[in-house]
Structure 1
Amino acid sequence: MNTNVSTITPRVEIRGLSQAAGAMFLVGTLAGVSGVIGDYPVYGGQALRYLLAAATLFAVARIAGLGFVRLTPRETALLVALSLTGLVIFNVAVIEATRHSGPALVGTVLGTVPLALALLGGRPTPRIVGAATVVVAGATLATGLGSGDLPGLLWSLVALVCEICFSLLAIPLLPKLGAVRVSAYSAALAVPLLVVIGLLVDGTAMLRVPSSSEALGLAYQSVIVTTVAFFLWYDALPRLGTETAGLFAGLIPVGAIVTGLILGLGAPSVPDLAGAALVVTGIVIGLSAAASPSAATATGSPAAGARPPATPVNSRAAEACSPTAPASSPAAATRPPTVRAASHSPAARPATTPTVAPVPEAGPPVNPASSPVNGGTFRRHS
């Protein structure tokens, strides 16, 4: 009996969708909160942000029983590249792009993340590409095209590449390390890199005692935008894939709009609201495409792999009892049960017809809590 995929993994899909949406919305709040710490030295502030985030994530890993994992040279290189591009260079690029062109241009360029991930994440369907295009249009409309110069555009493109690396470089690491370790290790590696850049740019002035509002802003960036959003995003990526998860990057300007409204930075304009509506529309289109039966049952898809084989139950039981082939023989899996002619000898005729107990139908495979798919032993404690 074929089981519908929607009845197998609804909780996994709902959890992944909510995590991706929450992560990108929290990242969007960064723009509003950054205004609170605008006067604090940039590189020193980012180093403090990632230092506090790494300490928090390592504490979470210890509580969850996640020990140190020995990495191969390739995995170490991936982790360093992830921290260097997705955290350090990304922040530098956003800062420099904002200085040259303001936040509008870099926000518009980053709005193309869903389309880029849809194109780079495999073989996207035309509907996924169309949905990503709608999300990009909404993000562009909500952010505003603004005005800028060539250096601002180039730095914005660097930020776009780094944002893509933030997701793609993490995918090979997540099965072995899990979301908590990837977030903790990358944040810890970003601290010395930012300290070096800060010393080169600002010297000893890269650090000072923050004011109360600056301390609250740095704490929010560290705990909410880094610790929580990183974990949610990296936990959602393996569940959804880059094509579907990337659609939620369009929620970044939506989070910025809501944060600005809450902090009293200004009410959203008509283009802001229209762009947010386009983003939501594109996400709905993309999710409906990902949940369609043709996509769910495609060869090689995770959903197709989770579906149990459509082998009749009684035929398996008959093959196991066939006297012409052992139950473990490869031929027994494909040979039909042998029907013997009725014997007239009383000795050869069985007194009673043996009954075969039905074999319970195999359910969908479930990964154990300690399997590599679940990132070590973390799932046991989630």
Structure 2
Amino acid sequence: MSTTTRGSLLAAFATLLVGASFTANSVLVDYPYAGGQFLRYGFACLLFLPLVGRGGTAPLRRLTRRQWGRLALLAAVGMVGFNLAVIAAERTAEPAVPGVFVGCAPVIVAVLVPLTEGRRPQRLVLYGASLVAAGAFTVQGWGRTDGAGIAWSVGALAGEVGFAVLAVPVLRPLGPRLLSATVCGLAAVESALVGVAADGGAWLRVPAPAEAAALLWQAAVVTVVGFVCWYMAMQRIGAERATLFSGLIPVAAACTAPLVGTGSYGVAQALGSALVGAGVALGSRAPARSAVRPGTAATDERRPRIVQPVRDR
């Protein structure tokens, strides 16, 4: 199996995990936001430690202050801030609204990553990203909103873009597993700070059995498995092409919604799914220019709403 094929399968699997896990979000509606994020990312960080192994944290000592700042920003914007923005948007907007904005992330990443690397955007990736965005919109539709809902949805889009773009320079020295473990640890600390500042002593409580199961699923499966697969995909095919697969999130949500009685799958969902598939196929034909090449430090790591799922990061 080629590197490109493996990377594509990893990206698809990671985004499908997110899309199919929206039921966990509905269980956590009444749980304190910051406390839930703290438990999720804190437990995920602990689960990552055996995967990193003894001596696996050595690259962290070689990071510069600027790289540490980037990691902290990645956790704050792409994880804690992203989830907070989606939740805040859905207070005054229907879930489809932040989902539509987040669906535009492949287009922005397709432009932003090449510019930061001093090269031109690839046409095939741009065309594919546009089809993915159109497909995501078709699957989700539009919904009721106001100015605040749109503003928070833009914040969610910024978080989605930041999750990919901010990781590019630190993926090479850390590799997928150590990068995932580090940002989860930072996100746990940041969530605790947000919780104490916003809610005082009420920011954390013992979760009910159903809430504990949902948090465990998000930590062990969506975060540990999903993050590693996502960053391994970025390592192989680059951030631009990997982000194309984020269009599978609403598709997976649309496919699984009927199973739990929270939605239906109709003509619009089928058409949108086809557009997303066409966009991914078209964009994937472009050469992976920003992927980590074999032999670099990162590859020595043993090779390893309907839109509710946009909260799963």
| TM-score, normalised via structure 2 length | 0.88
> Who is 2:91 aligned against?
99
Question: Are 2:254 and 1:264 equivalent residues in the alignment?
Answer: no
Partner SS for 1:172: helix
- Whether 1:67 and 2:75 are equivalent positions in the alignment is no
Distance 2:87 2:280 in 1: 28
Could you tell me which of 289, 302, 311 is aligned with 1:379?
302
1:249 is aligned to 246
Secondary structure of 2:53's partner? helix
What amino acid does structure 2 have at the position aligned with 1:40?
Answer: Y
Counterpart position of 1:81: 73
Secondary structure class of the residue paired with 1:379: coil
SS of equivalent to 1:173 = helix
Q: 1:353 — aligned with what? A: none
Distance 2:122 2:52 in 1: 37
Instruction: Confirm whether residue 109 of structure 1 aligns to residue 101 of structure 2.
Output: yes
- CA apart distance, 1:86: 0.8
1:24 aligns with 2:28: no
Equivalent in the alignment of 1:169: 166
Aligned CA distance change for structure 1 residues 50 and 59 (closer, same or farther; 3 Å): same
Letter in 2 for 1:116: I
> Which structure carries more helix by proportion?
2
Q: 2-side partners of 1:266 and 1:206: how far apart? A: 32
Partner of 1:48: 39
Q: Read off the aligned partner of 2:45 and give its amino acid letter.
A: A
3-state SS of 1:257 partner? helix
Aligned to 2:29: 38
- Check whether the contact 2:36–2:204 (CA below 8 A) recurs between aligned residues: yes
Measured in 2, the distance between the counterparts of 1:131 and 1:40 equals 38
Check the 8 A contact 1:32/1:259 in 2, yes or no. Answer: no
Cα deviations across residues 306-336 of structure 1 (Å, max 9, x unaligned)? 9xxxxxxxxxxxxxxxxxxxxxxxxxxxxxx
Checking the alignment, whether the CA contact within 8 Å between 1:105 and 1:146 is kept in structure 2 is yes
Show structure 1 runs of 5+ residues with no match.
1-9, 307-365
CA distance in 2, matches of 1:187, 1:22: 20
Report the Cα distance in structure 1 between the residues aligned to 2:172 and 2:124, rounded to whole angstroms. 28
How far 1:191 sits from its partner (Å)? 1.2
Which consecutive residues of structure 2, in runs of 5 or more, have no partner in the other structure?
Answer: 115-119, 305-313
User: TM-score under structure 1 normalisation?
Assistant: 0.73
How many Å apart are 1:302 and its aligned residue?
A: 7.7
CA positional deviation for 1:255: 2.0
Q: Does the C-alpha gap of structure 1 residues 68 and 13 become closer, same or farther in structure 2, counting only changes over 3 Å?
A: same
Counterpart AA for 1:80: A
Amino acid at match of 2:235: P
Q: Which amino acid aligns with 2:269?
A: D
Deviations 1:179-213 (A, max 9, x none): 11111110101112111211232222222222221
2:49 counterpart residue number:
58
Contact 1:58 1:184 in 2 (8 A): yes
Q: Which has the higher contact order (CA 8 A, sep 6+)?
A: 2
Equivalent in the alignment of 1:118: 110
What's the counterpart of residue 211 of structure 1?
208
Report the AA paired with residue 105 of structure 1: V
| Distance verdict in 2 for CA 1:130–1:200, change over 3 Å | same
C-alpha contact 1:13 1:239 (8 A) present in aligned 2: yes
Q: Distance in 2 between matches of 1:154 and 1:74?
A: 29
For residue 237 of structure 2, what is the aligned residue in structure 1?
240
**Match for 2:302: what amino acid?**
R
Q: Report if aligned partners of 1:66, 1:378 keep a CA contact under 8 Å in 2.
A: no
1:86 partner letter: G
Shift in CA distance, 302/274, structure 1 to aligned 2, threshold 3 Å: closer
Are residues 1:281 and 2:271 paired? no
**What SS class does the counterpart of residue 145 from structure 2 fall into?**
coil
